[in-house]
């Protein structure tokens, strides 16, 4: 297992950060969540003037053997078709990335398709999709560990281009099923409370999905070790995201966390090294019912709640302008002293 040396965040600037936020030309606390974001950015960067440099979004893609059993509203082929859509700029994630000036990256972690090498797709393919974990482990332990390593390498390369802010996305038909099982095992929550609609299943579809996942769970040895859980039930995109998150925290980057699947990867990373959570901002609460359970386990406070559940980092990218606004007011908004405005000493 690759070792990630993640530093604890320093508290040495806590007083100064809060004072800088409180003495801006506004009533204390009046910028609400933006003030919390600015404080967290300052702590992560250990700076009174936090900056967002060269933000990148990375969408990791992989196929799942369980998708052949019909756990999703869509067929497995949609995974590779969506990657072509990314290349053409037609997906919601690429539209939002362009809107906000975020560099868009897509990684083939294990899609059941061969892409032309001329396409701007980062090829880190472990295999052509995972095995069907209803019948056998999704991958070998060696593949899991190699996936973590490859995901870390992707972030290391992006970080070298002066990037200190990373957004994670995913694409893989059937990956809400993996996320549900990861939550159930690592969060010690009954599976029926973890299984949701995914790509749009109706009530009967959700029940069928639960039955299939429960069958796979019944054959598992019940280990709560995160590597064991990822090996048996993960997706290649999920294990690479785990490695990517741990490496990003090691590099002191800010991680903007998307919805249900991305947070399941963070939960696994958190179980490997809890310090990773301190480098995270939580973009939104997904409309996938069990997402809030994951957030509660890690104490993550979502910035938005706008009923999104598309994945692909879309919720995080919709949230991104708020993060920029937090950094902007921290660095450019005048203090009472700067503006020559009298600072109220008591509430009237």
Q: Which residues are catalytic?
A: 312
CB contact at 8 A, 284 and 308: yes
List, in sequence order, every beta strand (DSSP E) within the chain.
56-62, 103-110, 122-123, 165-171, 254-257, 280-284, 302-304
Torsion of the alpha carbons at 270, 272, 275 and 279, rounded to the nearest 10: -50
**C-alpha to C-alpha distance for 166 and 231, rounded to whole angstroms:** 25
Residue 246 backbone class (left: φ over 0; alpha: ψ -120 to 50; beta: rest): alpha
DSSP letters of 45-86?
HT-SS----S-EEEEEEE--GGGGGT-SSS-TTHHHHHHHHH
Three-state SS at 348: coil
CA max distance for the chain: 70
């Amino acid at each position: 297992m690759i070792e990630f040396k993640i530093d604890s965040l320093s508290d040495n600037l806590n007083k100064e950060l809060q004072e800088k936020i409180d003495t801006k030309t506004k009533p204390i606390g009046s910028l609400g969540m933006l003030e919390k974001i600015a404080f967290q950015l300052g702590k992560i960067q250990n700076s009174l003037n936090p900056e967002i440099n060269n933000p990148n979004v990375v969408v990791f893609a992989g196929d799942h053997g369980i998708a052949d059993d019909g756990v999703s509203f869509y067929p497995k082929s949609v995974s590779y078709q969506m990657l072509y859509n990314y290349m053409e700029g037609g997906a919601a994630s690429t539209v939002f990335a362009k809107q906000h000036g975020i560099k868009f990256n897509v990684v083939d972690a294990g899609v059941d398709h061969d892409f032309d090498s001329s396409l701007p797709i980062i090829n880190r393919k472990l295999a052509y999709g995972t095995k069907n974990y209803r019948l056998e482990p999704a991958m070998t332990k060696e593949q899991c560990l190699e996936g973590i390593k490859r995901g870390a390498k992707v972030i290391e390369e992006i970080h070298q281009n002066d990037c200190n802010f990373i957004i994670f996305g995913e694409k893989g038909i059937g990956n809400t099923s993996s996320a549900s099982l990861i939550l159930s095992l690592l969060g010690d929550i009954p599976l029926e409370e973890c299984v949701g609609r995914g790509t749009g299943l109706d009530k009967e579809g959700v029940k069928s999905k639960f039955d299939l996942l429960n069958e796979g769970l019944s054959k598992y040895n019940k280990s709560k070790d995160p590597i064991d859980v990822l090996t048996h039930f993960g997706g290649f995109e999920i294990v690479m995201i785990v490695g990517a998150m741990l490496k990003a925290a090691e590099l002191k980057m800010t991680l903007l966390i998307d919805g249900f699947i991305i947070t399941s990867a963070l939960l696994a990373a958190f179980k490997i090294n809890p310090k990773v959570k301190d480098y995270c901002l939580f973009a939104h609460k997904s409309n996938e019912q069990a997402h809030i359970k994951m957030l509660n386990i890690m104490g993550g406070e979502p910035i938005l709640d706008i009923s999104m559940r598309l994945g692909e980092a879309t919720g995080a990218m919709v949230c991104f302008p708020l993060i920029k606004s937090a950094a902007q007011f921290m660095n450019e908004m005048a203090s009472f002293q700067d503006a020559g405005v009298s600072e109220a000493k008591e509430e009237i």
